[in-house]
Amino acid sequence: AQSVTQLDSQVPVFEEAPVELRCNYSSSVSVYLFWYVQYPNQGLQLLLKYLSGSTLVKGINGFEAEFNKSQTSFHLRKPSVHISDTAEYFCAVTPMNRDDKIIFGKGTRLHILP
């Protein structure tokens, strides 16, 4: 079975400052990793995903994430946030090479301060 832990339920950050949202996972098999964003009253939009290859993954809206297998982490970063980045961010995993569902973390609310 897989599980995802997002250590911070809320992260306040000033506009134009850098941000890191932390994600750790647990799995007995290799996994694919995802970050999704959810704006108020909206569905989930894929920010980026790690399937294989380079451990640094670049996504939409200037976000990037780094897969660290030894630390079972997949932290999300952005060098300079904007007010429009205010949203809920979800880290997620699914088993590699298997026909299976995505398991989500509980989410981190990114709160941009003016």
Partner 1 sequence: GAGVSQSPRYKVAKRGQDVALRCDPISGHVSLFWYQQALGQGPEFLTYFQNEAQLDKSGLPSDRFFAERPEGSVSTLKIQRTQQEDSAVYLCASSPGQGAVEAFFGQGTRLTVV
For partner 1, the closer CB: 14 or 39: 39
For partner 1, the closer CB: 37 or 112: 37
2-31 positions binding partner 1, by CB under 8 A: 4, 6
Strand partners, 10: 109
Rounded Cα–Cα distance for residues 11 and 71 (Å): 22
Alpha helices in the chain (DSSP H): none
For residue 103, give the nearest of 9, 45, 27, 28 by alpha carbon. Answer: 27
The correct pick among 44, 72, 73, 77 for binding partner 1 (CB under 8 A) is: 44
For partner 1, which stretch binds (CB under 8 A), given 16-24, 35-43, 56-64, 73-81? 35-43
Question: For residue 34, what are its two tokens?
Answer: 């995802």
Q: Which parts of this chain interact with partner 1 (CB under 8 A)?
A: 4, 6, 32, 36, 41-46, 49, 51, 90, 94, 98-107
